[in-house]
Structure 1
């Protein structure tokens, strides 16, 4: 009987002790992390994620720390109407020259993002030397604005088109959305003038 008690006591000692610290630090953390990862994956499909990663390779932050020639070429490949075969052949060569030039000049070392980089390229007139890079920067900036605008529209649509208003026509929905999205502009216009 004594041996049995010893064995069960020994097996209890081997069982891991779950503490509150372990629960909050590990179990809960993983649950929150999995939830956030699912939300990101639901919001950004593989193509959008690849697009964002490629665009981030253009960033000038930390003296071009995230520069990745292969991802930048891939970004160009995603837009065959803007980057034909000749452009795609010349782009890697231009990128080698571009990154070498950028790292040699101090005015490019402390820039904060692709917007500032695009401005500095124009200001220093290097946009003509690096036409393809400038084209990619312009495309990336336009995509950022377009994506933000689309997000605003869908967010507004959830507010404007409620289940009660679900049967409104396209023109009425479009007009209502415009007024809602640009409500700050309409706030300064007299209602009598609108009517």
Structure 2
């Protein structure tokens, strides 16, 4: 203990004794059971906080938290989820496991793809990428770039293109969903509590896709609106 704190504690204790102030903490009054519960069997706490010991902490809190964490880890890293993650990595051109058949076929089997066709498509795609690199064209570095290369030939690389689209569409986390809910919370305040769902959905889309919304030409919208409502009294053009 810090000597300064120890001296301060002793001085406070001496001062309290001189002033006839009790130093020892008084015992708390025992909580009585409510009369409404007379004649009933009480199986849980009714507000009285029981004395916490190391053993009760270990069994009621520590083990419960560990059990929840292990259950969540087992759920998230189950075999199907791991196969999906490895399959996504196998479609990434910058990955060391790019086009690895074992991981790619396990991913394809989850979405019921034809593995025989996929095997030929992967072989041809490897050859195309090798030729592009030899001709001086930069190799794609992401799944999106790979999908853009395959898209003109999507009828030929049907299974591979399908897996790439699935790969891009899979959400790696709930961040996008949580961001959408946060946006809706900012839009629908207590002053806008009577807003209907259609208007809220439209404003939410404009807010989430703010970059695309800002790049739109509002004059074109006004012209189209005016053309569809020729009988309006207000002239927009």
Structure having the larger proportion of residues in helix: 1
- Rg larger in 1 or in 2? 2
Q: Tell me the TM-score normalized by structure 1.
A: 0.48
Q: Tell me the TM-score normalized by structure 2.
A: 0.41
